[in-house]
Amino acid sequence: MSFAQMWEQLAREDVRFVIIGGVAAVAQGSARDTNDLDICYDPAPDNVAKLVKMLNEWNARLRVRDGSGAGLPFIIDARTFRDSPVLTLETDLEWIDLMDQVAGIGDYRACLAASEEIEQGPVRVRVLTLSALIKSKRAAGRKRDQEHLIELEAISALKQMVEKESTKRHRRR
C-alpha cells in the first residue's frame, strides 16, 4: 500500500490532519525519498477516536529503528495519544509518524493555517506550504533537515523566479 492509500483512508474517515515532513516536501516538488507518512493531527477527542480506529485496523505497533521494539505490548487508544505527543508507528501498510505539534509551526490549528489543500487521487488533503516546511525544517535543526533545507530553499527560489517572470509577462499584455 502506498502513502496515498493511507491518506485516502484517513480522509474518507474524516480524520482531521495535515501532511508534514517528507511527503509534504514531495508534494511541494522535492525529489527526496521518504520512508514514512508524517502527519500533525487535531487532538480533539472525536478525531483521536477516528485515528485510534484506523490505526487499530492497520495493526499499528511501535516502530523502533533497531528492531528492539518488536513484540512489545502496545495499546493504541485515546490515552496513548494523550500521553504521547509523538507516535512513531509501523503498520501493515506503511510507517506513520503522528504529532500534535510541529517545530517552528505549532499545533494542529497552526499547521492548518500554514497548509494548502491539494487534490490527491479521489480525495483532497492538506499539506504544509513550502514556506512552512522550510520554517519547520529550520526549527527542527536535525542534520537531515538541514540537508533537506538546501533543496527546499532551491525549490522556493525557483518558484519565486517563475512567479516574477509570469508577472512580467502578464504586465506586458
C-alpha cell at 85: 505527543
Show the domains of the chain with their CATH numbers: 3-172 (3.30.460.40)
Nearest to residue 39, comparing CAs of 71, 70, 81? 81
- Tens digits of per-residue pLDDT, 33-63? 888 999 999 999 999 999 999 999 999 998 8
- Phi, psi dihedral angles at 3 (to 5 degrees): -60, -40
Q: What is the pLDDT of residue 79?
A: 95
Q: What's the CA gap between 78 and 16, in Å, rounded?
A: 15
DSSP track, 81-124: HHH-SEEEEE-SS-EEEEESEETTTEEHHHHHHTEEEEEETTEE
Q: What is the pLDDT of residue 153?
A: 86
